[in-house]
């Protein structure tokens, strides 16, 4: 497992990949925070803070280093965030929010962000990524429904939207019980 990222991220991480002409992906920095918040406001609206995902993130540890921004030139066009949580004593990643600006949708920015997030989580040694979202959207990235009753969240949720994606063979083993704050 790499070092926890409550340590501040470097201010200018190198681009990790270019996706199509002019698109750059790189790890999120503290300086990106307000642009990411604006993007998420536009994508999800003010009601987003009531979602169960936000209750999970309240107890999670945000991982700058495993969260990615997509830029066209200087403009932020997409973001995926990941946070660390604990389930059954195992450190796992919680993915979200995940959004692409309305003008940039439908050309693979979202897919590139998800694949980069999964790759980084795997490289950091995490066994699994959990999220609350549409199976129709995330199944193309290997996410599946969590078996009913296996994981509980801090608030009521629709079990059909609780998805996981093991990052290695058997990554889901022992990942059962309530979502808790990450261990120290
Ligand atoms: C979801 C989102 C991030 C995808 O970004 P994107 O850059 O358009 O993604 P891509 O271009 O890589 O992929 C688009 C594909 O996802 C599909 N898709 C988007 N949202 C979907 C959904 N909720 N359910 C099923 N499929 C969905 C599109 O129809 C498209 O399908 P196609 O490739 O077969 O044409 C973007 O639509 C968005 O920001 N939506 C609003 C916020 C949101 O819903 N975030 C996910 C929260 S769980």
Q: Which domains does the chain have, with CATH numbers?
A: 17-180 (3.40.630.30)
Site residues for ligand 1, CB cut-off 6 Å:
43, 98-100, 105-111, 133-134, 136-137
- So what's the pLDDT on residue 7? 42
With the most atoms of ligand 1 within 8 angstroms of its CB, the residue from 72, 134, 137, 139 to mutate is 137
- So what's the pLDDT on residue 180? 97
* Strand spans (E) along 22-176: 23-27, 61-62, 68-72, 75-87, 90-100, 128-132, 144-145, 151-152, 162-166
With the most atoms of ligand 1 within 8 angstroms of its CB, the residue from 25, 45, 51, 106 to mutate is 106
- So what's the pLDDT on residue 5? 43
d(CA 8, CA 25): 19
Close Cβ partners of 179 (under 8 Å, ≥ 6 residues apart): 56, 59, 85, 86, 87, 94, 130, 151, 152, 153, 154
Residue 157 has φ and ψ, to the nearest 5°, of: -150, 165
User: For the chain, give me the number of helices (H) and strands (E)?
Assistant: 4, 11
Nearest-CA residue for ligand 1 atom 32 is 106
Q: What is the pLDDT along the chain (184 residues), one digit of tens a residue?
A: 444 444 445 455 666 655 666 789 999 999 999 999 999 999 999 888 889 999 999 999 999 999 999 999 999 999 999 999 999 999 999 999 999 999 999 999 999 999 999 999 999 999 999 999 999 999 999 999 999 999 999 999 999 999 999 999 999 999 999 999 998 6
């Amino acid at each position: 497992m790499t070092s926890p990222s409550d340590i501040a991220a470097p201010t200018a991480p190198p681009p990790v990949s270019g996706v199509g002409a002019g698109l750059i992906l790189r790890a999120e920095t503290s300086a990106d925070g307000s642009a990411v918040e604006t993007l998420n406001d536009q994508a999800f609206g003010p009601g987003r803070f009531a979602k169960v995902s936000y209750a999970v993130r309240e107890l999670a540890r945000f991982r700058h280093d495993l969260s990615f921004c997509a830029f066209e030139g200087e403009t932020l066009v997409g973001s995926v965030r990941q946070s660390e949580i604990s389930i059954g004593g195992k450190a796992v990643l919680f993915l979200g929010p995940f959004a692409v600006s309305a003008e940039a949708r439908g050309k693979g920015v979202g897919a590139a962000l998800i694949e980069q997030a999964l790759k980084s989580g795997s490289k950091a040694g995490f066994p699994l990524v959990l999220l609350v979202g549409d199976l129709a959207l995330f199944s193309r990235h290997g996410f599946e429904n969590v078996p009913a009753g296996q994981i509980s969240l801090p608030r009521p949720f629709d079990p059909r939207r609780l998805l996981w994606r093991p990052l290695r063979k058997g990554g889901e083993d022992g990942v059962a019980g309530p979502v808790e704050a990450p261990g120290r």
